[in-house]
Amino acid sequence: MHNACYLFFILLFPFSTNLSAQKKEIVAYYPQWGINHQPYMVKHIESTGSAKLITTLVYAFIEPAPNEKGNIETRFMNDYIDYQQPYSELMSVDGKADDPAQPLRGQFNQLRKLKKLHPKLKIVISIGGWLGSVYFSDAVRTPEARAYFIHDCIDKFILGNLPVKNGAGGKAVAAGIFDGFDLDWEYPIDGGVEGEHHNKNDRENFSLLIKEFRTQLQKIKPHGLLTCALSARITDLYKFNGRVDQQYVDWFNMMTYDYHGGWDKQADHHTNLLSGINDINSAGAKESLDRTVRYFRDSCGVSPNKIIPGAAFYGRGWKDVAKTNNGLFQAGSIAPGLYEAGFNYYADLTKLMKNGYSYFWDEASLAPYLYSEKEKTFWSFDDPRSIALKTRYAEAYKLRGFVFWEITGDNADGELVRTIADRNMPSAMKTHKRNSALQVNPEYQLIVGKTSIAYRTGSIVPLTLKVNQDGATIQQAEFFCDGKSLGFVTSAPFTWALFNAQPGMHVLYAVVSFGREKPVKTPDVKLQILDN
């Protein structure tokens, strides 16, 4: 597309040995405005148990903007919330109130306290976002502009020299909080919020910024993180040069959500794992996490170890949706939301299931949705099942980790973050290893794949537990391949998937649990995966 992507083998680049040690990441975005919603503060990252599970916390956002001399530097979207607001005991991570006269207060001080509790936690600050990318093109347009912008970023957020205001700020007051930067330009070349500046050379200039950012960061903080948040839409990826930029970034946070929303005229999945038959956007593309990852890896030549796909801790909604197919793929318009039109957090959507909304699972897309026939309203979202599957996908295809937007949408128990860390739906049941003592019950059959398909190396093979009796008593179905657990489902329909199937003959089965009763096992099913 637009000569941006090429098929080739990944080469080793000179900067690769200087990047941080490679590991599986759990990357959480935390928005500055979370304190005004719910409210959700930094202390909730700790109280929900999420802080000990995530590896990188991304604080969003600051934005490029012109100063009084016209130079593009970083601007705080709300500097009072960032580092000036005094916190009470009840608001604070450690239960200690701020001294109103101390030079660092607000969210930044809370991040410092969180980091003290979790020294291995990395914290980066994100630049841009949907509303904050208006002047990104200006920041990267010339060598002088890039140098000025990068210097300002490092001065404020690595060296910690914050502007003095309301008795806060000063030299090095924020030093040691941030470990690097996340570049979230939405978007180079075209698109983005109304009034955003663009240039035909945005993509090339952005690559030059990334390269220089790595060089300058290397001098000040050799193991500093540099990441990029990228659109997951295939039709947008030409705007970024992943093939080149992967030399200098630690990883790409792929925004594998918002594939659809109230801006579309039919209710559809906004964060689906696979592409369904009827899942087509306005550009005629079948979008999904799987398609984005494969395109970025195979067509754009980006190493799997630089790719981090994501989940949405929120839903997208449509109203005036007919009940056909329980609302899926039916005409509709943007639904009301608690915070903005067509938008509700996961924590809010779970309450709808107790108020007349029915839950549905799309086996073709491996995605959930809610529909109310009375309200004629449809919501697409991620839940523990879809997120568990996505984390299994990321692991199977050896991706760098998993990211989500954003942590304030989780419930008070940190359910979705725990799901990412455990790679399983929450359950009180025990998992099982292959046990010949388990009774084989033919009333429970494991359907593996589709008989008309010859599966090859790297395939995704659907798994379905077929129940020849009342399945209401089933509390859990755990799926196995060659004795290794693939994960489990704790509610109907009992479907799962085998990701990145490897060549050879495999034995699959499921263990069905009923609470206090002894589990039973399905008959073994043999699956031949052909070598490519």
3-state SS of 136-185 is: HHHHHCCHHHHHHHHHHHHHHHCCCCEEEECCEEECCCCCCCCCEEEEEE
Q: Does residue 312 share a domain with residue 415?
A: yes
Domain assignment present for 432: no
Same domain, 336 and 479: no
What predicted TM-score, i.e. pTM, was given to this entire model?
0.93
Are 510 and 393 within one domain?
A: no
Is 407 in the same domain as 277? yes
Confidence of residue 318 (pLDDT cuts 50, 70, 90): very high
Number of domains observed in the structure of the chain: 2
Domain of 489: which CATH number? 2.60.40.10
Q: Same domain for 55 and 118?
A: yes
Q: Is the pLDDT reported for residue 531 higher than 80?
A: yes
What distance in Å separates the CA atoms of residue 459 and residue 478, rounded to the nearest whole number? 20
Residues sharing a CB contact under 8 Å with residue 241, sequence separation 6 or more, in sequence order: 4, 203, 204, 206, 207
Q: Which residues of 406-441 are buried (b: 16+ CB within 10 A; e: fewer)?
A: bbbbbbeebbbbbbbbebbbebeeeebeeeeebeee
Structural contact between residues 480 and 508, judged by C-beta atoms closer than 8 angstroms: yes
Distance CA 405, CA 387 (A): 12
Buried b (16+ CB within 10 A) or exposed e, 173-193: bbeebbbbbbbbbbbbbeebe
> Could you tell me if residue 230 is inside a domain?
yes
Query: Residue 416 sits in a domain of what CATH number?
Result: 3.20.20.80
Q: Tell me the per-residue pLDDT of 8-55, one tens digit each, with 9 for 90 and over.
A: 333 333 333 334 445 699 999 999 998 887 789 999 999 999 999 999
How far apart CA 388 and CA 407 sit, in angstroms, is: 16
Token pair belonging to 502 = 């490897």
| Whether 34 and 66 share a structural domain | yes
| Mean pLDDT score across all residues of the chain | 92
- Let me know whether 402 and 469 are in one domain: no
Percent over 70 (pLDDT), the chain: 93
* 480/494 Cα distance (integer angstroms): 14
User: pLDDT tens across 218-275, in order?
Assistant: 999 999 999 999 999 888 899 999 999 999 999 999 999 999 999 999 999 999 999 8
Do both 235 and 115 map to the same domain?
A: yes
pLDDT of amino acid 5: 39
* Distance in angstroms (rounded) separating the CA atoms of residues 226 and 150: 12
Tens digit of each residue's pLDDT (9 = 90 or more) over 288-305: 999 999 999 999 999 999
Query: Is there a contact between 510 and 442 (Cβ–Cβ < 8 Å)?
Result: no
* CA 199 from centroid of its chain's CA atoms: 29
Supply the pLDDT for residue 254.
Answer: 97
Q: Which amino acid is at 205?
A: N
CA 130, 135, 137, 140 torsion: positive or negative? Answer: negative
Flag whether 5 is in a domain: no
In this structure, are 390 and 453 located in the same domain? no
Give yes or no: residues 361 and 444 share one domain.
no
Q: What is the domain extent for residue 328? A: 16-422
23, burial (CB in 10 Å: exposed 0-12, middle 13-18, buried 19+) = exposed
Q: Please report the sign of the dihedral spanned by the C-alpha atoms of residue 138, residue 143, residue 146, residue 148.
A: negative
Query: Whole-angstrom Cα distance, residue 414 to residue 434?
Result: 31
> Which residue do the tokens 């918002």 mark?
258
Separation of alpha carbons 513 and 476, rounded Å: 5
Q: What is the pLDDT of residues 42-94, one digit of tens each?
A: 999 999 999 999 999 999 999 999 999 999 999 999 999 999 999 999 999 99
Asked if residue 450 and residue 395 are part of one domain, the reply reads: no
